Chains A and B, each alone.
Chain A
Amino acid sequence: MTGVNRRIAAVSALWLALFPLLAGCWDRREINDIAIVLGTAVDKEGEMYRTTLQIALPGQMSGTKGGGGGTTGRKNWLMVSDVAETPKFATFKGQQMMSRLVNLSHRRVFIIGEKVARDGIQKLLDTMARDPDNRLTTLVLVAEGRADRVLNIESSLELVPAEAIREEAALFQRHPPTLKDVANILYDPGKDPMLPCISIAEMSSLDADNTNKAIRLDKLAVFRDDRLVGIADGELRDGLLLASGQSKDFKLLVPAPEGEGNLNVIFHHYAARLQPIFERERIRMRIIADGYGTVVENNSNFFMHRPEGIKKVEQAVNDAVRNRIEKAVRWLREKKSDAVGFGRAIHVRRPQEWHRMRKNWREEFSRADVEVVTMLDVENFGYNRAPFGKREEVLR
């Protein structure tokens, strides 16, 4: 054996000897030793937090195994829940009921119960930044009532409710807020959180004796700092979405300008700009709503296909949008919550002014004038002039 060979042998022996020493450091973990958490719900019971984990049961999900199986009755997920002084510690206690290690890296949604939200969400967020297991891209939602109940509603369209909630959030608004967004907003005095809000909907089923439950996402939870101050629905919610530019394929139902019935308009292109205007003592916030929409339904006896008809439709649309935004802003001022982010707009446009007023921004905000400018066009009426299937003589 020559010197070179001996050296090679010695180096390889050293390498091999190192491997057993490393055994303790290996964080090797097989996929069938981890519990993949897809969603978390946090609720409050007295002074204690209840954390509920929704864990995927992959074995139930796919049909690779032969021998029947099917999906009858058995759920694709497991709910594990426990109560403790802090939400994270409740997770640890939940871990003690499971044979697999909790893995949070695939958590899609983080759902906050209404009661927790009213008490303040900051306490929930600390662990998100501290524990590397968490992902800041998790979506944050508020549940009306108890969060764990909503998280356990089966969706026939997705394998797991958490996934269904995430998809619904992506359809509901343009940029559903993630943990990272929420944390950013909480740091910023010029903006308050506005989170999508889910609730349980009773869906009447075709089976006469049975009602199905579904997860409905159609509300917005508005915060002041980290506390929930109101849940907006209907026109109020529309106004908030429109003012913040968060609306996605916004659908507007307006009464026909003349005659009876309604028009249905969808805005595929919509953007809102905030423009602060300083006038001596006062600030005027101008909201510019811009976009164009398509009439998808004319359920009235109004005949649009004349220049003045088009003008009237556009007028009605602009009025409706302005009304909704004004209503929403009025409501926000009442709640002293700057969920749309006027403060941030001032910060961006006039940093000096902002540093002067950021201390008592809430007061300033409740006094500020708001002006809504709408520049919405209706571009597409469809090619059939009259309402489909209606004789022209009954039109107005």
Chain B
Amino acid sequence: MRDWRRKWRHRRMSMDDPHSGSGGGGSGGVKKGDSAGKNNEGHGGGQGGGGNGNGNADGGEPLQPSLAANEERLGHILQDCSDIAFRRFRIKDGREALLVYTEGIVDSAETHLHMLMPLLFFVDPGLAEKGADAAASQGVSLSQMRRIDSVEQAVEAVLSANVLLLVDGYAEGAAFNVKGGTRRSVQEPNSEVVIRGPREGFTENLRVNTALLRFKIKSPDLKMVRFVKGTYTRTDIVLAYIDGIADRKIVQEAKRRIEAIEINSVLESGYIEELIEDHPNSPFPQLQYTERPDTVAGQLLEGRFAILVDGTPFVMIGPITVWQLLQASEDYYERFYISNLIRWLRFGFALIALYLPALYVAVVTFHPDMLPTTLLLSVAAAREAIPFPALVEMLIMEVSFEALREAGIRLPKTVGQAVSILGALVVGQAAVEAGIVSAPVVIIVSLTGIASFTIPRFSLAITIRILRFVMIFAAAAFGLYGLVIATIMLVAHMCNLNSFGVPYLTGVAPFRGRDQQDIFIRTPWSRMNYMPGTYVQSRRKRTDQNTKQGVHESW
């Protein structure tokens, strides 16, 4: 935490934002959005719901009483935006009115049914005296509405899926949230497939995502604080946590860091991740991301916070420990024998993914005496005709495997077949038969590849991929000695890391006895009585009492 601030300030100063000077409305709007989020904290449900109660406090160009003037001004700002619709009409009581909205992102059927129809046909003429606001609120049968005083607010509202209603004669307008448009529906998450567990995944729509969380945690303690970031993108960001479980200090720190962000655009949660993490130079991920609502809910219930960003299905979770990155949500759904077995397998293969190629290089070039004789003879036989040193051989295969994997991700499915044939036949078999690489190296590289796929979090898998090369070089330079030194440095680095003030290796270093229930072993739910101590405000029991069912003591 201590050096976080220093790094943070440094980065913020160097951030290039050519537009922050012009258009004071833009950056001012950001601040207002933040304060809106804060005021709104209590009932974190409604998007844009009444946050603007403080009115036209920070200036901006006020709306004119004349509808024509307003229309011209808005038309000027939204010039050449062909997706903005201006609909001029006459309210039933005879006043001129204007609807402004962005086509495609508002639900036009709803707009017609609940705005245009009542205003055109059913408005009580007596309401005319009470302003656009009152007219709208009583004539329009839509739930989410806010008052608009300035041109900037009007533009912002129009661009974020509101329908703006301006009535002639009033220097104010009303914005109705009729978010619509087509976005991907809830689907099974592609990046985290489980055998047992919910099949639904987050979508690009923030409100769908918050709803998916709310489905799971029906408690008023689940708070969702809203922020708006990005001068151009005006992206909604929601910080979710459970009040009473999450550590208030950590939540406060998360809010502070998000508020401090100044950036032009937020297209994915990764933008936020890099801006708020503690150690931007570390290869280790300090926030977890997931597509699964059940994972997020589980983490929230363990006292962590989640950051949801509109426009991406990837939700970030913090603070995290490295152990958490080695756990899959299925660990908690399967019976504990199964999940423990799989968890140990994963731990073992994580080590293989990190060390095996380096170990091979070290043993073959420095310590052939460490291999059993018969194994050494087979390795020696395979290496007999190879023209390269073991290091070069290993690098050739590792790099081509990484390339193969990268190619496989990007390619369309139909071409993927061709890549796997090329990879298996050309790189694997032919290279061995031609005597360019030896068979043990191919075996080790493929085993390592499999091992890196067993790591449930892609971000940690990438870290291990990077560190694997460091290990290979250390082993090639100094043998097992180098491997040990590199490991010591790695462990020292990991001990030094923290995520929002929580040490990265929490549970093991610093050691916490109670956390052992869910690090190397996953105890059965009937025994898992405590939340992990670090994140939780007080040592709170998961269950009020041990409610193990089905134990017949009379037997």
Contacts and interface: CB of A to CB of B under 8 A. Distances in A.
Interaction A to B: yes
Interface of A: 2, 19, 22, 26-32, 34, 36, 38, 56, 58-59, 61-62, 64-66, 103, 105-106, 108, 135, 159, 163
Contact of B390 (A26, A31, A38, A58): A31
A106 B366 contact: no
Interface stretch (B117-125, B216-224, B368-376): B368-376
A334 B10 CA distance: 92
A106 B365 contact: no
B51 interface: no
Interface in B443-460: none
Nearest to A103: B368
A187 to B, nearest CB: 26
B544 interface: no
Contacts of B369: 103, 105-106, 135
Interface residues of B, number: 27
B433 interface: yes
Contacts of B366: 27-29
Interface in B2-53: 10
A256 to B, nearest CB: 45
B378 interface: yes
B477 A62 contact: no
> Interface SS of chain B: helix, strand, loop or mixed?
helix
Given A26-B477, A30-B389, A31-B376, 6 more contacts: A22-B477, A103-B368, A105-B368, A106-B376, A108-B373, A163-B374
A59 B386 contact: no
Nearest to A106: B373
A102 to B, nearest CB: 12
A58 B439 CA distance: 14
B25 to A, nearest CB: 34
Nearest to A107: B373
Contacts of B488: none
Contacts of A58: 377-378, 380-381, 383-384
Most B CB atoms within 10 A — which of A19, A28, A31, A159? A31
Interface in B464-521: 476-477, 479
A31 B369 CA distance: 11
A27 B376 CA distance: 18
A2 B14 CA distance: 12
Contact of A31 (B364, B374, B479): B364
A159 B374 CA distance: 10
B382 interface: yes
A31 B380 contact: yes
A38 B373 contact: yes
A150 B157 CA distance: 96
A32 B380 contact: yes
A30 B377 CA distance: 13
Contacts of B433: 66
Residue of B368, B379, B390, B439 contacting most chain A CB atoms (<10 Å): B368
17 contacts: A22-B477, A28-B365, A29-B366, A30-B364, A30-B389, A31-B368, A31-B390, A32-B386, A36-B377, A56-B377, A56-B380, A58-B377, A58-B380, A61-B378, A64-B382, A105-B368, A135-B369
A61 B385 contact: no
A29 B433 CA distance: 24
A159 B381 CA distance: 13
A119 B477 CA distance: 46
Contacts, number: 74
Interface in B344-403: 364-366, 368-369, 373-374, 376-386, 389-390
Contacts of A59: 381, 384-385
Nearest to B378: A62
A62 B364 CA distance: 18
Contact of A36 (B368, B382, B386, B390): B368
A61 B368 contact: no
A196 to B, nearest CB: 20
A36 B479 contact: no
A105 B368 CA distance: 8
A34 B384 CA distance: 11
A100 to B, nearest CB: 11
Contacts of B390: 30-31
Nearest to A27: B366
Contacts of A30: 364-365, 383, 389-390
B361 to A, nearest CB: 10
Nearest to B390: A30
A2 B435 CA distance: 49
**Max chain A CB contacts within 10 Å: which of B10, B369, B390, B439?**
B369
Contacts of A65: 385, 435
Interface string B57-99: 0000000000000000000000000000000000000000000
A68 to B, nearest CB: 15
B384 A32 contact: yes
Contacts of A2: 10
- Find the residue from A27, A36, A64 having the highest chain B CB count within 10 A: A64
Contacts of B383: 30-32, 58
Given A22-B477, A38-B373, A106-B376, A62 B368 contact: no
A234 B369 CA distance: 38
Contacts of A61: 377-378, 381
A59 B381 CA distance: 5
A137 to B, nearest CB: 11
Contacts of A64: 381-382, 439
